[in-house]
Amino acid sequence: MGEITEIGWTARHQHDGTVLKGATFNPWHGCVEVSPACAHCYARELGARFGTAWGRNEPRKFFPDKHWNHLQRWDKAMRAKGYIKNIFVASMSDLFEDNDYADPETGQTLDSERGRFFQIVEQTPNLMYLLLTKRPENMTRMAPAHWADAWPPNVAAMTTAENQKYYDLRMLHLLAVPAAVRGVSMEPLLGPVDLGFGDWIRLPVGVRSDIPFNAAYAPAGVYRAQRNPYGALSVVVTNGKLLGVTPDEYEVVSNADWFITGGESGPNARVSHPHWFAGIRDQCEAAGASFFHKQNGEWKPISEMPESEYETYYKPWPAALLRQYSESYLREFASREYKVPVGVVDYHGKFYSIDGPLTGAFEVIDGHVGMQMYRTGKHEAGRLIGGREWNGMPAALGGDLPQTALTTA
């Protein structure tokens, strides 16, 4: 828990122009990995330092009343100033983890603490809770029953998604949550993602096709629809068949309001191609969704460096070679003496270290060429895309932040 966090996307514009940093709050500590984004879980590494082990059968660390009272205290302070504070919930755990662990001394369980949390949420309207989970499939089931039609206005439902596979899977559940604000954090981003604006639909009741030998059934729920060349929609049903649906059978569902991107940091950070970030930004811009780019990660793309900067990382060489992906270019590129680790990431995310074979590194994939990346460290790598910051936030979270350097974390 931290009353002030440097995580840029939690900061919030106030009515008097102040930009107030957000806070983090954890109902407990501890979690278990669910997808590739968890491989270098920052919380797990931090937890290990304080003796909290990660894993399905490891104890969760619960907290006494003193910890929980912070929420009421922060709410009171915000009310006095007429401010709203954004709270990132569960930076060291996952609020929607399904686990029946019980503390042998206090009897606290994940369910008991979740229930306590939801009650406090309703009593603290001057705090805006950003509930970020990798388990959105549990969100509606674990939320209070009286939230079934509408979540409180001071709650944003958010999931994280690192690539297309997890985005498509998790959005089916996130978009079923009746929250006023829905968001997606794509950090670490591990591949290009098609956000599918306009493709999300909901079937209020199940739809059946009784075509002989090709019967199919789509239960009620949210789907990512496929569109044929004539604009008609189909959904993929559990047996893998495509089932056509008509406008009277579906409702269009709005995509998330907010997308956050970021590259990975830490000693084993994976490399994100900068065009993945730019692609998500462009889709958000076209659809009118808010876009926030948190950080480039540990590796800085040459596309965000002026010549004067990248020349500091190696011995100078002719600029014309930068655009030649020939054998001589590769030889030239590989023969330089670099001061930091360097390589090329292709659009699929395959990383070619400068110390290994580079053949194929600059192949054009889906129209995108491999990008030279320099391991400058997180702070040097910064948070620019196309030379500027992207600080978009939905109005319910305070609106866009100014174009000033927010500290990354």
Where does this chain bind ligand SF4 (CB under 6 A)?
A: 31, 33-34, 38, 41, 43-44, 94, 134
Q: How far does the chain reach from its first CA to its final CA, in angstroms?
A: 15
Whether residue 353 contacts residue 343, with contact meaning beta carbons closer than 8 Å, is answered with: yes
3-class SS at 49? helix
Long-range contacts formed by 379-383: CB under 8 A, 24+ apart: 379/408, 380/300, 381/263, 381/295, 381/296, 381/297, 381/298, 381/299, 381/300, 382/295, 382/296, 382/300, 382/304, 382/408, 383/8, 383/293, 383/294, 383/295, 383/296, 383/408
For residues 44 and 114, which CB has a smaller minimum distance to ligand SF4 in the complex? 44
129-162 in b/e form (b: 16+ CB < 10 A) is bbbbbbbbbbbbebbeeebeeebbebbbbbbbbb
For residues 113 and 389, which CB has a smaller minimum distance to ligand SF4 in the complex? 113
Phi, psi of 50, deg, nearest 5? -105, 10
For residues 94 and 257, which CB has a smaller minimum distance to ligand SF4 in the complex? 94
- What's the closest the beta carbon of residue 124 comes to ligand SF4, in angstroms? 24
- What's the closest the beta carbon of residue 44 comes to ligand SF4, in angstroms? 5
- What's the closest the beta carbon of residue 13 comes to ligand SF4, in angstroms? 27
For residues 134 and 293, which CB has a smaller minimum distance to ligand SF4 in the complex? 134
For residues 60 and 182, which CB has a smaller minimum distance to ligand SF4 in the complex? 60
- What's the closest the beta carbon of residue 166 comes to ligand SF4, in angstroms? 11
For residues 33 and 168, which CB has a smaller minimum distance to ligand SF4 in the complex? 33
- What's the closest the beta carbon of residue 258 comes to ligand SF4, in angstroms? 19
- What's the closest the beta carbon of residue 30 comes to ligand SF4, in angstroms? 8
The residue among 89, 218, 92, 205 whose CA lies nearest residue 155 is 89
Report residue 346 as tokens. Answer: 């292709």
Task: Give the C-alpha separation, 219 to 237, whole Å.
Answer: 8
Whether residue 8 contacts residue 294, with contact meaning beta carbons closer than 8 Å, is answered with: yes
- What's the closest the beta carbon of residue 265 comes to ligand SF4, in angstroms? 13
Residue with tokens 């959105």: 136
For residues 44 and 383, which CB has a smaller minimum distance to ligand SF4 in the complex? 44
